Amino acid sequence: MPLLKRIPPGLWVGLVWFVVAVEPIVEYVLMPPSRKYSLSYPRHGLDPLSARLLLAIAFVMIMAGSAQLRRRTSTGYGLLLAGTVFSTVAWRQHEIPPVQYLGVDIALCYIAATRPRRTSLIAAAAALATLPCYLALRLGLGEQDALGSDPYIALIVVIAWLVGNSIRQSRLHTEELHARAAAQAVTAERLRIAREMHDTVAHSIGIIALQAGAAARVIETQPDRAREAMLTVEKTGRETLAGLRRMLGALRQADREADGMAGQDTARTTARTAAPTTGQTTARTTARAAEAPREPAAPASLRPAVGLADVERLAATTTAAGVRVEVRWQGRRRPLPPDLDLAAFRIVQESVTNVVRHSGADSCRVSVDYGDDELAIEVRDRGEGPAPDAGHDTGYGLVGMRERIALLHGDFTAGPATDGGFRVAARLPLPADARTH
């Protein structure tokens, strides 16, 4: 249960050890005499002052070891072993009872589950070595009889290590699967960005072809219209080239950190995925060029198929589906580079989709702030988030959003808001021609 997982491991170890240590004191020392007796806990075992002093030292060691088990594992574990031995010496026991070693077993299980295997093996060896060392100490003091519990304690120690190691292996396997899934999500998002960037470039090239052809036809009869068309060609070309440089520069930087073969596979996959889109987009561009009038038309829109202008439509569709979306615009709205405009819309779209699927909220707020040097986007809801057992979603939509923002050299944050709900925020730097001064 989530509440129990928040309890520090040292507290579990301390509670178990204290219960096991206090129970015989209550039963065989404080309670009235009864017919029951114990060879491990004799009724007069704690009568000497030295025995009580040793038991008090053992309690202090256990408290210190439990407190340091997480931060200083070796020191805390050593104090637990020493405290257990001191408690057995206080009772003048021939061997360590299995229940009295239970706190050490739990600590060993925790170490095996959270620390490297070498560390856990050393801890297990220390727990096993304590048993014959204690027996040798008792034999050296002239105690000849023994309870014969060492094999059972050793078996429990081995089981505790195996359980902890199994938990560690399971956790490492889960982390590896999550890492692979996250890498696949990043690759899929890059492929999607590549397809969208291809459509944007193809759209811009179509505009350049139309305007250049129109300018060539009227350059002698209508020089003003021809100049306007060529200025549109220049602006479109510069914006498209800037977008390509931004994306390819970030992709090259990421590819240097990736495996070379993985980069080749991704490039081949991108080419195969983008090929059908290339044909379809080229056909659409050719058809538009064939249907273009002989006289130059007004400069075509440089906005891609989707962008921030479609946020209102997204909000209306989501509201009709049952989750009200409030859109707030701040700053002076102005045209943005196609790649930045598209990425901003995808951030809003994915965030709103997560609100509908996972938050449990009935409304959310989308804020788009056109700043002088950057574009700020924020999506907030008042939901409680997904239930602990609500499926296996791992938040890879956030991975895709973070990848988009990274390609544009922006900042991205996502997580629970301080006043409740969930908050997604992104900041995208604007190129020089899109800024206001």
pLDDT in tens, 274-325: 334 433 333 333 333 333 333 333 333 334 457 898 899 889 888 887 889 9
String of DSSP letters for 103-144: HHHHHHHHHHHHS-HHHHHHHHHHHHHHHHHHHHHHHHTT--
User: What pLDDT digit, counting tens, does each position of 201-253 carry?
Assistant: 766 677 677 778 888 888 888 888 888 888 878 877 777 777 677 666 656 55
By CB atoms closer than 10 A (0-12, 13-18, 19+), residue 26 is exposed
Q: Which two tokens stand for residue 271?
A: 């080419």
- The predicted pLDDT at position 95 comes to 75
- The predicted pLDDT at position 295 comes to 35
- The predicted pLDDT at position 112 comes to 94
Bridge-based pairing of strands 363-370 and 324-331 is parallel
- The predicted pLDDT at position 388 comes to 43
Cα(317)–Cα(243) distance, integer angstroms: 30
- The predicted pLDDT at position 34 comes to 64
CB contact at 8 A, 92 and 45 = yes
By CB atoms closer than 10 A (0-12, 13-18, 19+), residue 14 is buried
String of DSSP letters for 174-196: HHHHHHHHHHHHHHHHHHHHHHH
Backbone angles phi, psi at 375, to 5 degrees: -110, 125
How much is the pTM?
0.56
Ranges of the chain with pLDDT below 70 = 1-5, 33-40, 43, 137-148, 196-200, 202-204, 207, 243, 246-305, 385-396, 433-437
CB contact at 8 A, 8 and 67 = no
Backbone angles phi, psi at 148, to 5 degrees: 70, 30
